[in-house]
Amino acid sequence: MSAKVSFTAMEHASREDYDLVFEHERQEMQGQAARIIHWLKTMDGDSPYQISRLDHCLQTATRAQRDGADDETVVCALLHDIGDAIAPANHSQVAAAMLRPYISDKNYWVLLHHGLFQGYYWMHYYDQDRNARDELRNHPYYQDCVDFCANWDQTSFDPHYDTLPLDHFIPLVEALYAGTPKPCV
């Protein structure tokens, strides 16, 4: 059995208690890449698209890599829809939150907003404003998100595209999560 803290309310904790808690968190963070890969694999099932959700993520990452994106951006392309495995209603926000401590502000912003920006391709069919993303047009990363969606995300539903396998991307995911997480404020 693992060691336990002495407190039942945080206000009564000691430094030793928090050392124990933070060591447990450190060990959990070491397993984050493996959990992410597991969640990606759960997306390899039936979908209404011509390819699985996993294949969509792999295809998006493949396109990003072939376009010369840096490794961090490629991992973001791979994991951009990981939130679908956990919270489909706000998948963009979930993916952004999971990656935030490890990625640039630009990639965080793109992940956070890519769902809204993808709406450009379908909202008009449901009497919604396909240009809703334009409320954010003065943001410095607006065009980056437009490009992410136009060049990689919305084009990645092709069953005939030469998509790289998940094993190709695992070292990139592991390297990203091996980094020191930044504090999120």
pLDDT tens per residue, range 167-180: 999 999 999 999 88
Confidence of residue 185 (pLDDT cuts 50, 70, 90): low
Residue type (1 letter), 90 = N
CB 185 within 8 A of CB 147: no
Please indicate, yes or no, if residue 183 is contained in any of the structural domains: no
Between 67 and 10, name the one with better pLDDT: 67
Is there a domain that residue 55 lies in?
yes
- Which residue matches tokens 């391709």? 121
Residue 21 maps to which CATH number?
A: 1.10.3210.10
Instruction: Determine, yes or no, domain membership for 9.
Output: no
**Cα distance between residue 100 and residue 103, in whole Å:** 5
**Domain count along the chain:** 1
pLDDT score, position 130: 97
Distance between terminal CA atoms of the chain?
34
Residue 4 domain-assigned (yes or no): no
Query: How many beta carbons lie within 10 A of that of residue 139, not counting itself?
Result: 13
pLDDT score recorded for residue 25: 73
pTM above 0.85, yes or no: yes
Give the domain range for residue 70: 14-178
Band (pLDDT 50/70/90 cuts) for residue 184 is low
Query: Does residue 7 fall inside a structural domain?
Result: no
Name the residue among 111, 101, 97 with its Cα closest to residue 61: 111
pLDDT above 80: residue 30: no
Pick from 11-15, 32-36, 50-54 the range whose average pLDDT is largest: 50-54
Residue recorded with tokens 């396109």: 63
What span, in angstroms and rounded, lies between the C-alpha atoms of 111 and 67? 18
Kindly report which listed range (72-76, 88-92, 161-165) carries the lowest average pLDDT score: 88-92
pLDDT at 179: 84
Sign of CA dihedral 81, 103, 39, 20: negative
Say what the pLDDT of residue 2 is: 83
- Average pLDDT in the 162-171 region? 98
Q: How far is CA 181 from its chain centroid? A: 15
Unique residue bearing structure tokens 């208690």: 17
pLDDT in tens, 82-97: 999 889 899 999 999 9
Is 6 inside any structural domain?
A: no
C-alpha–C-alpha distance, residues 33 and 10, integer Å: 29
Asked if the structure places residue 84 within a domain, the reply is yes
> What's the pLDDT at 1?
52
Mean of pLDDT values over 145-173: 98
Give a yes or no: residue 3 inside a domain. Answer: no
